[in-house]
Amino acid sequence: MEIISKSQEKTKLLGSYIGENLSSGDIVGLFGELAVGKTILTKGILLGLGMDDVSFVNSPSFLIMQQYEIKGLKVYHFDFYRINSVEEAYNIGWDEILDSGGICIIEWAQNVAKIMPEEYLKINLSIENKSSRKLKIVSEGKKYEKVVKSINLKLEAERKKTVTRNKNLC
Ligand SMILES: Nc1ncnc2c1ncn2[C@@H]1O[C@H](COP(=O)(O)OP(=O)(O)OP(=O)(O)O)[C@@H](O)[C@H]1O
Ligand SMILES: [Mg+2]
């Protein structure tokens, strides 16, 4: 499924729809270059999971993983921009964390492509122009097909609401 987001706010809102559909043990891999919107999308996902304040969430410059707790659920936010070798991921407990039952959000997943699990929600972001981004959301493996469907339904419902609202204005 492909979506064009025409603003940072829309990307965040889309992230919240994704977050609302995630549950314990889910893994999200974010692929895309610098400043494409991975962290903005992550903030939206965290909002959708129920985090109140996401203002402190950023792309960590030194840490490759930040941990949050949202409504009793552990959420692991990885950023592999600076990773030199996959050993660095193993050293912070990659396998254990992926299996821990927490939710994992992985920025720069392309830098750890060879150690990504078999199944995860794959999101490919690319720049269309200054304020517009293309997001491609697919289920890698079968596990996340339901999640992709739910996000699609939510977006369709939102689109219908907007159309109805516009009609009412006429
Ligand atoms: N439609 C859009 N969606 C998301 N961000 C957008 C959009 N249009 C413009 N932007 C801008 O693009 C930038 C995205 O920043 P963000 O930190 O989320 O990127 P990133 O992919 O995490 O980058 P990095 O790899 O450096 O961590 C922000 O400055 C944001 O304002
Ligand atoms: Mg980032």
Span 34-91, pLDDT tens digits: 999 999 999 999 999 999 999 999 876 667 899 999 999 999 999 999 899 999 999 9
pLDDT at 12 over 80: yes
Which residues are CB-neighbours of 111 under 8 A, at least 6 positions away?
80, 81, 83
Q: Nearest residue CA, atom 31 of ligand 1? A: 8
Pocket test for ligand 1, best of 30, 40, 123, 126 (most atoms within 8 A of CB): 40
Strand partners, 69: 74
Q: Tell me the C-alpha distance between 32 and 122, whole Å.
A: 11
Looking at residue 110, its pLDDT comes to: 97
Q: Is 34 in the pocket of ligand 1 (CB under 6 A)?
A: yes
Whole-number average pLDDT of the chain: 94
CA atoms of 28 and 21, how far apart (whole Å): 12
Whole-angstrom Cα distance, residue 126 to residue 167? 33
Regarding the beta carbon of 38 and ligand 1, being less than 6 Å apart is answered yes
The strand pair at 73-79 and 65-70 is best described as antiparallel
Q: Is the pLDDT of residue 160 over 80?
A: yes
CA of 73 to the centre of ligand 2 (A): 22
pTM: 0.95
Domains of the chain from N-terminus onward: 2-163 (3.40.50.300)
Whether 40 is in the pocket of ligand 1, judged by its Cβ within 6 Å, is yes
Contact 92, 64 (CB under 8 A): yes
